[in-house]
């Protein structure tokens, strides 16, 4: 997802190199662009796949909720100067927890793959001039968190009620969900494995 950040991105590759894991990490960091760094290299089982073996992920979405732009967070947060009703957003978030068909919350074209996912946590907290949203679940569809955020923001602004998210879920209709918010506020924090 172009523009999304990652702290805990995991990748795998096969190699016949005789370099140690430390040497591979040093080599990668020497040639990667300055905004990418490898923080750990370890040997995995031959059949390990970083995407297919993942059992869950945690994302964070940041919003600068202030009339004054925050120049230090501008690349890593979306600005929303309008006051937000966090309690209403938390009520809506509770209705999204558990296993549901999130078809209405993806911009992916028709696919044979299931759109059923499980969200274990949506935490909403104010930190100074920011509102941060933490999403933890067993997997997320294309643009799912960014559309969930657009829907929660509409709840926070009073455009829709918290209860309306249930109708959106049940409809399976992307047009009934909120807008796709900018990618720059989203960061992949951690990928979980068993």
pLDDT at position 162 is: 98
Joined together, the tokens standing for residue 176 give 């009934």
CA 59 vs. chain centroid, Å, equals 4
Nearby residues of 29 by Cβ (< 8 Å), 6 or more positions away: 37, 38
pLDDT tens across 95-117, in order? 999 999 999 999 988 778 899 99
pLDDT tens across 165-183, in order? 999 999 999 999 999 999 9
Q: Facing residues of 119 across strands?
A: 98, 137
pLDDT at position 3 is: 87
Q: Which structural domains are found in the chain, ordered by start?
A: 56-192 (3.30.70.660)
Which among 139, 145, 149, 143 has a CA at the least distance from the CA of 114?
139
Asked if pLDDT for residue 1 goes beyond 80, the answer is no
3-state secondary structure of 72: coil
pLDDT at position 51 is: 92
Mean pLDDT over the full length of the chain: 95
Helix (H) or strand (E) holding 186: strand 186-192
pLDDT at position 112 is: 83
Nearby residues of 26 by Cβ (< 8 Å), 6 or more positions away: none
Nearby residues of 34 by Cβ (< 8 Å), 6 or more positions away: none
Where does the pLDDT of residue 156 fall: very low under 50, low under 70, confident under 90, or very high at 90 and above? very high
87 flagged as catalytic? no
pLDDT at position 101 is: 97
- To the nearest 10 degrees (0 to 180), the angle between helices 86-96 and 164-171 is 30
pLDDT at position 155 is: 98
pLDDT at position 26 is: 97
pLDDT tens across 6-40, in order? 998 999 999 999 999 999 999 999 999 998 999 99
Strands (DSSP E) found in 7-165: 56-64, 78-79, 98-101, 116-127, 130-137
* Choice among 112-116, 123-127, 134-138 with the minimum mean pLDDT: 112-116
> How many angstroms separate the CA atoms of 167 and 178, rounded?
12
Which among 62, 63, 135, 64 has a CA at the least distance from the CA of 93?
135
Q: Which residue is catalytic, options 1, 87, 101, 120?
A: 1
The model's pTM? 0.92
- Cα separation of the two ends of the chain: 25
pLDDT at position 194 is: 85
């Amino acid at each position: 997802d172009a523009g999304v950040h990652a702290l805990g991105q995991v990748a795998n590759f096969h190699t016949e190199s005789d370099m140690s894991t430390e040497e591979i990490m040093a080599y990668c960091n020497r040639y990667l662009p300055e905004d990418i760094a490898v923080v750990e290299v370890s040997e995995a089982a031959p059949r390990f796949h970083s995407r297919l073996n993942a059992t869950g992920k945690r994302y964070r979405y940041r919003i600068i909720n202030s009339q004054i732009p925050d120049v230090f967070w501008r690349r890593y947060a979306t600005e929303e100067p309008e006051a937000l009703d966090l309690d209403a957003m938390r009520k809506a978030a509770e209705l999204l927890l558990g296993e549901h068909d999130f078809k209405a919350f993806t911009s992916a074209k028709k696919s044979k793959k299931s759109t059923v996912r499980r969200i274990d946590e949506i935490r909403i907290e104010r930190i100074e001039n920011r509102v941060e949203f933490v999403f933890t679940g067993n997997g997320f569809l294309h643009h799912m968190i960014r559309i969930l955020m657009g829907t929660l923001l509409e709840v926070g602004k009073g455009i829709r009620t918290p209860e309306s998210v249930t109708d959106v879920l049940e409809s399976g209709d992307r047009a009934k969900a909120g807008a796709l918010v900018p990618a720059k506020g989203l960061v992949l924090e951690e990928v979980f494995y068993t």
